[in-house]
């Protein structure tokens, strides 16, 4: 087992390294050539510089002993000039290589970011965004799970590592001039140390990757502390200390396994370090004796010492962790692409959706269960949604109302039964085209920190630049006056987090969201869904909002979701959901007359709503 685990770890490290090199070439072949030169040239120049300084030292030593001759003077000046030129070129190459690394790293990270976004956005459904394994990979691809070492750092580490290795090889060649066995002994000792270190590195990288879920959790606590959405509650409830403690605890718990593994295997590492130190001491003593006996010159000793100091680079290991940790997001992004390409995430369908529905939508014995759950949210649901009419779906929380909307919008595919659009099974219709036929305002509709024009224009991107169309939708939704009163009008960013930005009240945001939906209808959406975006309003305000909505969308296939029965009485038909299926349906008057679930819930909610009014009248 240990051998198999070690082989797997070695293969993983090779795959990480290969992935990084391949993606660097794909990102910018020209920069790769520049980086290759930045790695190779300094190594050659460093060897020549060491030799030149050795010549200078020998010349100075000879002059100190016998006096400076004209020939010695010329040799020293030539060597100094050569050394100066070599040093200057090296100093020029260093920032050039650093700049090339920075540009390559930024391009690589930009390409990685675009790929991850495209991969996550590719599936038309939502299933992948609610699966922990997929979210872990997304986090790792964004460097959350590997200590946040980014590909840019890996590129810099590649440049430094292989430059050091080439310089070490040049040093080994120079040391051959002293003794053929000397570089071999050093390289063997450094290899032994590197082997011990790589084992710890491999285990560290693997264990850190396994902690991605815990690290993602700690990042959540960090974001709660640093971002604005939770700022009010974290301060009102005095959560600062709790957040700091919870972040530190989850981070420590995740990393403690990695730290423990780093502490293991210490003896082997220390033995190799002591052995290497002993070899260095022995060789330095031999060099000193050789110089003292005249077997080698002072300049030669200087060259050999500098060569020895560069030999560590031959088996350089200290940058490996940075290279492999920085490569992990790239490999994870590739794995994420492969995962998202699986049939499980690709929704079928090739039939056109233009003009649908012209007759209606019918749910036949539909059942649905969320991935990883043990019970059905919908079970045996039968429902008819006539085209061009308004349908209200009511029910208590947890009865499957929002799930029904998700199936209608095909954010998920049903697990049983059929959903027919004009008699055609929804799974046969192109999901991308069908999404353009659906417009929805959800309970948690997005308040984009973008311009007012963008917030409305997202309803129909093809009309986003048409200010007349935007104004028409805003006017119908009662939002035009709000927008025109903003500091920059349509160009005002709807967030106080930006300069000259503005924030809106909850009611104003609802009108913006309604304008977005109405623009979608103007852009060709055939089904409009309102999924409790007013749940936090009082009953009167909600009823006014729904009434306006139903007036504006008359003649459009409209689905209204609410848990308040009194606010949707104007809908053409009302459906009551219970236990994942239709319990009752009819008009408001018909359902009240039946005296069933709807009538009881309507009376109960009406009584709660009317009681405060009666108390006010009694005190008047």
Q: What is the pLDDT of residue 202?
A: 65
- In this prediction, residue 570 carries a pLDDT of 82
Bond before 523 cis per omega within 30 degrees? no
Residue 4's pLDDT is what? 43
Going by C-alpha positions, the residue among 485, 440, 431, 432 that lies closest to residue 459 is 440
- Dist. CA 534–CA 594, nearest whole Å: 28
Query: What pLDDT is attached to residue 2?
Result: 41
**Residue among 376, 393, 354, 436 at smallest CA distance from 567:** 393
Residue 392: which region, alpha, beta or left (left: phi > 0; alpha: psi -120 to 50)?
Answer: beta
Domains of the chain by start residue, with CATH: 10-210+265-344 (1.20.1560.10), 353-437+527-545+557-620 (3.40.50.300), 447-525 (3.40.50.300)
DSSP 449: S
How far is the first Cα of the chain from the last one, in angstroms, to the nearest whole number? 84
Instruction: Classify the C-alpha dihedral 295-300-301-305 as positive or negative.
Output: negative
Category of 423 on φ-ψ map: left (φ > 0), alpha (ψ -120 to 50) or beta: left
SS3 588: helix
Q: Report pLDDT for 482.
A: 95
Q: Is residue 603 within 8 Å of 615, Cβ to Cβ?
A: no
The pair phi, psi for residue 48, each rounded to 5°, is -65, -40
Q: Which residues contact 580 (CB under 8 A, 6 or more apart)?
A: 367, 376, 377, 378, 379, 380, 381, 399, 400
CA 277 to chain centre: 44
Partners of 351 in the beta sheet? 429
Cα 118 off chain centre by: 11
Cα–Cα nearest to 507, from 553, 471, 473, 540: 540
pTM of the model: 0.72
The per-residue pLDDT for 533 is 67
Q: Give the residue among 47, 96, 376, 320 at the shortest CA–CA distance from 204.
A: 320
Gyration radius of the chain over CA positions: 36
Which residues, given as ranges, of the chain have pLDDT below 50?
Answer: 1-7, 144-146, 612-620
The CB density around residue 447, as the number of other CB atoms within 10 Å, is: 15
> Residue with structure tokens 């295997």?
265
Strand order in the sheet with 378-386: 378-386, 360-368, 416-421, 424-425
Per-residue pLDDT tens for 595-607?
999 998 888 877 6
Q: What is the DSSP letter of 447?
A: -
């Amino acid at each position: 087992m240990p051998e198999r685990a070690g082989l797997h770890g070695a293969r993983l490290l090779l795959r990480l390294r290969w992935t990084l090199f391949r993606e660097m070439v794909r990102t910018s072949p020209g920069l790769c050539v520049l980086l290759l030169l930045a790695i190779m040239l300094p190594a050659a120049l460093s060897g020549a510089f060491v030799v030149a300084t050795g010549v200078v030292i020998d010349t100075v030593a000879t002059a100190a002993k016998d006096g400076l001759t004209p020939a010695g003077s010329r040799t020293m000046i030539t060597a100094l000039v050569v050394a100066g030129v070599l040093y200057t070129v090296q100093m020029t190459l260093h920032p050039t290589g650093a700049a090339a690394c920075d540009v390559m790293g930024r391009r690589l990270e930009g390409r990685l970011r675009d790929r991850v976004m495209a991969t996550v956005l590719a599936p038309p459904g939502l299933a992948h965004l609610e699966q922990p394994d997929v979210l872990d990979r997304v986090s790792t691809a964004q460097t959350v799970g590997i200590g946040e070492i980014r590909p840019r750092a890996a590129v810099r580490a590649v440049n430094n590592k292989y430059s050091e290795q080439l310089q070490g090889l040049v040093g080994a060649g120079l040391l051959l001039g002293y003794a053929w066995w000397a570089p071999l002994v050093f390289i063997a000792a450094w290899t032994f140390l590197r082997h011990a270190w790589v084992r710890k590195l491999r285990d560290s990288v693997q264990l850190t990757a396994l902690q991605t879920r815990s690290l993602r959790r700690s990042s959540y606590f960090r974001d709660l502390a640093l971002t604005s959405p939770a700022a009010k509650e974290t301060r009102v409830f005095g959560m600062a200390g709790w957040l700091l403690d919870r972040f530190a605890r989850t981070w420590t718990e995740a990393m403690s396994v990695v730290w423990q593994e780093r502490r293991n295997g210490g003896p082997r590492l220390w033995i190799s370090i002591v052995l290497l130190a002993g070899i260095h001491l022995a060789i330095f003593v031999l060099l000193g004796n050789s110089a003292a006996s005249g077997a080698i010159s002072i300049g030669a000793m200087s060259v050999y010492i500098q060569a020895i100091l560069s030999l560590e680079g031959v088996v350089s290991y200290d940058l490996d962790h940075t290279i492999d940790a920085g490569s992990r997001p790239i490999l994870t992004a590739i794995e994420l692409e492969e995962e998202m390409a699986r049939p499980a995430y690709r929704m079928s369908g090739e039939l056109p959706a233009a003009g649908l529905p012209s007759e209606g939508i019918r749910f036949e014995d539909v059942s649905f269960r969320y991935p990883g759950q043990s019970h059905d949210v919908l079970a045996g649901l039968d429902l008819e949604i006539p085209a061009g009419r308004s349908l209200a779906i009511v029910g208590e929380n947890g009865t499957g109302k929002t799930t029904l909307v998700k199936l209608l919008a095909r954010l998920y595919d049903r697990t049983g039964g059929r959903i027919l659009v004009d008699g055609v099974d929804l799974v046969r219709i192109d999901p991308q085209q069908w999404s353009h036929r659906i417009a929805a305002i959800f309970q948690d509709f997005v308040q984009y920190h973008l311009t007012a024009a963008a917030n409305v224009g997202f309803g129909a991107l093809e009309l986003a630049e048409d200010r007349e169309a935007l104004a028409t939708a805003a006017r119908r939704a009662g939002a035009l006056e709000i927008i025109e009163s903003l500091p920059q009008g349509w160009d005002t960013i709807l967030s106080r987090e930006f300069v000259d930005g503005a924030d809106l009240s909850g009611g104003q945001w609802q009108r913006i969201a309604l304008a977005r939906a109405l623009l979608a209808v103007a852009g060709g959406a055939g089904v409009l869904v309102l999924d409790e975006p007013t749940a936090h309003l009082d009953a009167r305000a909600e009823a006014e909002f729904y009434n306006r909505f139903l007036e504006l969308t008359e003649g459009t296939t409209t689905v209204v979701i609410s848990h308040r029965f009194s606010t949707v009485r104007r809908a053409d038909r009302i459906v009551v959901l219970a236990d994942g299926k239709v319990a009752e349906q009819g008009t408001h008057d018909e359902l009240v007359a039946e005296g069933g679930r709807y009538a009881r819930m309507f009376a109960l909610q009406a009584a709660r709503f009317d009681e405060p009014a009666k108390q006010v009248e009694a005190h008047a």
